A and B are shown apart, each in its own frame.
Chain A
């Protein structure tokens, strides 16, 4: 299949001109299955890099173990710019969940290239839940243990709710893990789950149809897609901000010139008008921060989520 995709990718290349140190295909590893946010980001970025670098760029899905399998693969690859990694916050959330040896070191084994986008998350409840604001939700959750769903143990959606629980001092919430978002959303709109943290583009149409009620957005500021929604801080719970960040990384030790080339291409793309509209549909906002800021974000988030994971004693799926 890989070979076939190469042939197909080559056919799609408008013009092949040498630009990279070595000839040959560039692989963007997406450590989750096709159709997930990371996979879609990788598939949006691949043609952009292909056109700019004059090399065929292939997306390779290497799913498994909360993304650890594909990520580990990139950590062990040569830093020659031919193997890249598209990742989301799970990148720093997964390692502390492994009981034994950690599968990879998010800070030491990678070269951050560009922080591409942020995906907004919202807290949604089913319409039967007697809470129209975050404060009411927290008050209700303190009186009884509410059921909430997530696409799996240790996913950003799970840890976001866990962070909210720890920050708002809710003694207990019952986490029901699913395999992927779809069955969890089914149980949320079927009114069997009380609440769930959802990507905003998933929650919006359901909220418009009256199937869920959105209470607050996890981003630090209000978002354009749903300006009526308060942030967690505005709604009374400070310090529980959470979103999905998507970024491109390579193995540790990539030459700075190569990193800069990739950053420049993708930074220009992510700020362009067509990219903006494609990203908005995914509930994402373009960012485009370079290696220094991205490395700072990774280090800060690693500390933060390691603390959340350890406090809640969550183990990997």
Chain B
């Protein structure tokens, strides 16, 4: 089938006034949900779904609304990450590294603007790629084996030392702590309980939200209390607004981040966190000579935000064309389609073109809306900083607790988040970077799962890990990433 005529049909669906309105509502809801710590698109979509059914929305309209919430959330997470150093969602963790220093220099508005532009570039280019390459890409994704994932994750881990600005040793130690935290819970292969201290709540492992909110939000607030808010907080204004030449300067970084983000997003086992981490470290390594990463480099904001949104769109590819959801949120979207009697899979594009192409067309429109919505609002978002601290931080704390509780409905998780908050506070004082902990945590679980699968499938043959061309290339890159800084240090 001709892609252009199919896409034209899709725009016919997406441009109906009702569907335009739904996309707009979804974008606003998504942005708001991205801002709130802990409350992610997953919960929001699960909550909205019954309304779509109750209002008897046709399936394509429901999907346009729910998907807008999904990709809209990619625009929201950065706001608190930049202004308050508290990421609103997992993939915004990297944005704190350069976004918050920029805000401290009074350039919070500029950082918000470049991240909005990056999000738009990443999402829109990914929708273009999805339009033309969905089916062949899905085939590639299926060929990616557990052994290949192991190599990809090893490569991501090898870049941990580059994530933070301080000594690499501290970053590595923090990353290893993250790996250890990922081990908590029942061993999925043998059923042995690890570090659960006999607690039923810990059997399933530690929830990401609990760790991230504890370390970042609660830890930051504890530090502010201790210093009686005298730490160098972000300033409103004072710095230059975003210049056009800065956008052009960031453009190559955005394009690279789009590529990284989309490819990683298409792989069902990876995700936006891996994508944003890889693209940030890639930019940092590529621009070591002329960068000031960690102290407020525009590219350090643009790259992870672009990759995050590109990966979110990429994640939809295996969901729509294979029926394999790449993340919890796309699993809920899949569930929504099933409730509408639509089975995503290889035949979706032929059997229900109005749904598949209507969604794709609506994503072009929705992302343009999000850009138009976000740029003028930058000033209003930045005004968050004019809220007095005695109002702002208790409010953030309350929302954080609500987010943790929403994730699991468990009071135990609230206590756990407080414990991680204390840990985050101590680590800030010891200048141990927090981002590698979170990345090690996310990657550790994926590494273990995939290593076990790979070993189980190969009957324990360790050479299976380097059995495919993809894995060989990734392992070579891993070795290079570890040796390169060492070699440079020796030469010096």
Q: Which residues of B contact A (CB under 8 A)?
A: 39, 42-43, 45-47, 49-51, 53-54, 141-146, 186, 188-192, 200-201, 203-204, 268-269, 318, 322-326, 328, 331-332, 334-335, 338-343, 345-347, 402-403, 405-406, 408-410, 449, 452-453, 456-457, 459
Q: Which 6 A-B pairs have the closest CB atoms?
A: A315-B191, A1-B406, A205-B345, A64-B204, A209-B346, A281-B341
The segment from A39-47, A83-91, A233-241 that touches chain B is A39-47
- Chain A residues within an 8 Å CB radius of B50: 9, 12, 43, 46-47
For B186, the chain A residues whose CB sits under 8 A away are: 65, 316-317
- Asked if B335 contacts A316 (CB within 8 A), the reply is no
Could you list 19 examples of A-B contacts with CB < 8 Å?
A4-B47, A5-B47, A34-B328, A36-B331, A61-B409, A62-B408, A62-B409, A68-B200, A69-B204, A176-B457, A178-B453, A182-B331, A186-B141, A187-B145, A190-B145, A205-B346, A206-B323, A277-B341, A280-B341
Contact between B331 and A35 (Cβ–Cβ < 8 Å)? Answer: yes
Whether B326 pairs with A209 at a CB distance below 8 angstroms is no
By a CB distance below 8 angstroms, the chain A residues around B39 are 1
Contact call A192/B146, Cβ cutoff below 8 A: yes
Asked if B343 and A281 make an inter-chain contact with CB atoms under 8 angstroms apart, the answer reads: yes
Q: B457 contacts A177, CB within 8 Å?
A: no
B412 to chain A, nearest CB (A): 10
A289 to chain B, nearest CB (A): 23
A72 touches B200 (CB 8 A): yes
How many pairs of residues, A versus B, come closer than 8 Å at their CB atoms?
170
Of A1, A61, A152, which one neighbours B402 at CB under 8 angstroms? A1
- In Å, the complex CA distance between A209 and B347 comes to 7
Complex-state Cα separation, A280 to B338, whole angstroms: 10
Nearest B residue to A11, CB-CB: B51
Bound together, the chains give a CA A182 to CA B322 distance in angstroms of: 10
Tell me, yes or no, whether A147 is within 8 Å of chain B by CB.
Answer: yes
List of A residues within 8 angstroms of B346 by Cβ: 205-206, 208-209, 211
CA–CA, A289 to B45, complex, Å? 32
- Contact of B54 with A190 in the complex, beta carbons under 8 Å: no
What B residues does A306 contact at CB under 8 A? Answer: none
Within A275-317, the residues touching B (CB, 8 Å) are 277-278, 280-282, 314-317
Give B39's nearest chain A residue, CB to CB: A1
A317: B residues at CB distance < 8 A: 186, 188, 191
A2, B406: Cβ atoms under 8 Å? yes
Task: Kindly report which residue of chain A lies nearest to residue B412, judged by CB atoms.
Answer: A69
B190–chain A nearest beta-carbon distance, Å: 8
B203 pairs with A182, CB closer than 8 A? no
A1 to B324, CA, bound (A): 28
- Chain B residue nearest to A281 (CB atoms) is B341
Q: Is A24 positioned at the interface, with any CB of B under 8 Å from its CB?
A: no
- For residue A27, which residue of chain B has the nearest CB? B409
Contacts of B410 in A (CB 8 A): 62, 69
Known: A176-B453, A316-B203. A183 touches B53 (CB 8 A): no
Nearest chain B residue, comparing its CB with the CB of A190 = B142
Contacts beyond the supplied A190-B144, A204-B343, A211-B346: 12 A-B pairs with Cβ under 8 Å:
A8-B47, A35-B335, A44-B339, A69-B204, A178-B453, A182-B331, A186-B269, A202-B323, A208-B346, A209-B347, A278-B339, A281-B342
B55 CB to closest chain A CB, in angstroms?
9
